Amino acid sequence: MEGGQEITIAALSSTFLVGLSRAMILFVVTAGLSFVLGVLRVPNVAHGSLYMIGAFAAYSISTFFGGGSIGFWLALVFAPLVVALVSLIAERSLFCHLYQREHLMLLLFTFALMLILGDLTKIVWGAEYRSVMAPAFLQGSISVFGSPFPRYNLFLLVIGPLVAIGLWLFSTKTKMGKIARAAAVDMEMVGAIGINVSWVFAFAFVLGCLLAGLGGALVSPTISVTIGMDHNIIIEAFLIVTIGGLGNMWGALVGSLIFGITQAFGVLLLPQFAIVFPYLAVVIVLTLKPTGMLKSVW
Amino acid sequence: MFSEMIRKKAFGISLAIFVILLLAPSFLSRFYIYFLAVIFVTALLAMSLNLCVGHGMLFQFHHGVFYGVGAYSSGLLLAKTALPWWMAFSAGPLAAALAGLLIGIFCIRLNRLYFGMLQISLGSLIWAIAFRWYDLTGGDDGIHGIPIPDFIASTTSSYYFVLIVLGICVALMYLILKSPFGSTLQAIRDNPERCAAVGIHVRRHQLKAIVIATFFGGIAGVLFVVVEGSIFPDLLFWVLSLEIFIMCLLGGWFTFAGPMLGAAIIVSLRTFVGTYTEYWTLILGVILILLIFFLPEGIMGYNYRRLLRSRSKYTSESPVE
């Protein structure tokens, strides 16, 4: 227990909230991964790199507009669009020619994309640490049961559910969302009724990557933005979609909550081995329920 | 018949290469000897992974962990205890095989992608422990300057040691793949349902393959300690695992010797391209994309097929698929 905080109601509740807000970022990222996984049936290894690019783009945009609160809000809007553009280029120029091939080749392509994007990010932004300022009214903390809780995390707790509701509305109420859901279940049938499958794939891929970029932009004020943040998030994101059920958006939410909260409590209980806790949770879930908590679309 | 001829020819070629490599230290500089030794270690690692991936169609996504477990257990025993070297060396592969068995038991129940995912998760658990347990493993710094037994401490002697161990291991893997066990494994790869129907215990067979592959991966880990004299958590990181996966694909994952070729190419590129530019992974990514588009069977797979095709022009025998 050395180095751990004293365990009080205040510490527990603020830990819970920190975990919850971490889970919200994880959810935004993994919802995108899960969407791609559901429609294209490909684990997009480059997803973490796109998240990183999102964070770097948020830095550049907010600095360009003077680093104030206008800069932040513009970054939140435009950074995901930059990422979406990058993914659209990669998809239309190379990825779309591989859809007829074996699945392993698709997976390897995304891995190659990860390697390339990782180095391109280094070329464009360099290896220094960057930081993004949150707008003034989101800085500082409020008091929860007597212990401080950052306001920005509160903002994340609002954004997360908004994204979830938005995605749910999109996939159940709009035509494009319905096509994407149908494609996840039976791709051949979607093609048979005259829908251009290649463009459905492109759309799903770009939307998934846009969410990765949004996650990156959202996380940027809370951490120092640097090379290598792609490696950590992608493993976490994969594990989350696996325990949630591949391709299931609500599964991504459940998985993110499990992951974020166990991580936060790990920090409280045993700081040195905090990163072990979420992995352990994954092992337990997969041992009990090998195909994830919720129904997988596969 | 022709594949028999190819096999004889391949045996001759590999014997010739082995002899040349035995003589290599007499005419190569120290750097190149070290460089060849690194290739051998990586080649053994890629070969061991290919037992699962190429011959067993098991998506062993996190093979690097067993390499790392082998390296860490022998390296720690050498650095922290007074055990004789042979005990430390044999602890490496045994620990790796044990880890392979434990992780395998969990993973084997799952199919394909879930198998790979759970393996990444369990492997990351081991990585996290090695990364964080400063008192034992030195955390992210690792341990450097591990005392290597005198008889293999110099560059040349460690070169010979690694080369001979590689030779023995490759011969063993060849025998394993040619044995009834290996044939069954490849039959499972090609048609698991039919194999189950004729009474083969598919899962148990695959688990055995994992344990064997991780055992050899552990040997590669020990060899790494011999060559480098250090251990660090990057050995267990999943990026390395995917790199060896690429080596198997590049060389040709349905061929026996392909992974060695792939390892040699990747290590050479990393060493020589790495001296000119820090953007080595960019180049690796581009190579991988070219590979996916133009050479999905890998170099050896492509050549083997072409060889069969050119032979079949002169006879009526159709190429073996």
Give me the pLDDT at residue B48, please.
92
Q: Which of A87, A105, A114 is nearest to B294 (CA)?
A: A105
pLDDT average, residue stretch B185-197: 88
Fold of B2-312: ABC transporter involved in vitamin B12 uptake, BtuC (1.10.3470)
pLDDT at B316 over 50: no
Q: Which of B117, B204, B207, B206 is nearest to A286 (CA)?
A: B117
Q: State how far residue B50 is from chain A, nearest Cα, in angstroms.
A: 15
pTM: 0.83
Q: Provide the percentage of residues in chain A whose pLDDT is more than 70.
A: 96
CA distances from A118 to A210, B100, B136 (A): 17, 31, 32
Task: Give per-residue burial for B150-170: e unless 16+ CB within 10 Å, then b.
Answer: eebeeebbbbbbbbebbbebb
What spatial distance separates the first Cα and last Cα of chain A, rounded to whole Å? 42
Decide: A57 and A117 in contact? Cβ < 8 Å.
no
pLDDT of A47-70, one tens digit each?
A: 999 999 999 999 999 888 877 778
pLDDT average, residue stretch A203-212: 92
pLDDT at A82 over 90: yes
| Closest Cβ opposite residue B117 in set A101, A123, A238 | A238
Q: Please answer yes or no on whether A101 and B296 come within 8 Å at the CB atom.
A: yes
Q: Which of B211, B101, B107, B111 is nearest to A283 (CA)?
A: B107
Give B237 or A290, the one with higher predicted confidence.
Answer: B237
Decide: B25 and B40 in contact? Cβ < 8 Å.
no
pLDDT average, residue stretch A239-244: 86
Q: Using 50, 70 and 90 to split pLDDT, how confident is the model at B300? A: low
Q: Using 50, 70 and 90 to split pLDDT, how confident is the model at A248? A: confident
CA distances from A182 to A167, A189, B243 (A): 15, 9, 35
Q: Using 50, 70 and 90 to split pLDDT, how confident is the model at B221? A: very high
Decide: B258 and B50 in contact? Cβ < 8 Å.
yes
Give me the pLDDT at residue B219, please.
94
pLDDT at B311 over 60: no
Decide: A57 and A78 in contact? Cβ < 8 Å.
yes
ipTM of model: 0.79
Q: Provide the percentage of residues in chain A whose pLDDT is more than 90.
A: 21
B200 burial class (0-12, 13-18, 19+ CB within 10 angstroms)?
A: middle
B128 burial class (0-12, 13-18, 19+ CB within 10 angstroms)?
A: buried
pLDDT average, residue stretch B13-27: 83
Q: Using 50, 70 and 90 to split pLDDT, how confident is the model at B117? A: confident
pLDDT of A138-167, one tens digit each?
A: 777 777 777 778 888 888 888 889 999 998
Give me the pLDDT at residue B94, please.
94
Give me the pLDDT at residue B319, please.
41
Question: How many beta carbons lie within 10 A of that of residue A29, not counting itself?
Answer: 32
Is residue B5 less than 8 Å (CB to CB) from chain A?
A: no
Is residue B102 less than 8 Å (CB to CB) from chain A?
A: no
Chain A, window 43-72: residues with a beta carbon less than 8 angstroms from a chain B beta carbon = 43, 45
Collect all residues with Cβ–Cβ distance below 8 Å to B28 and sequence separation of at least 6: B36
Q: Which of A31, A77, A86, A39 is nearest to A58 (CA)?
A: A77
Give B211 or A130, the one with higher predicted confidence.
Answer: B211
Q: Which residues of A touch B296 (CB under 8 A)?
A: 101-102, 105
Question: How many beta carbons lie within 10 A of that of residue B142, not counting itself?
Answer: 19
pLDDT at A211 over 90: yes
Decide: A215 and A25 in contact? Cβ < 8 Å.
yes
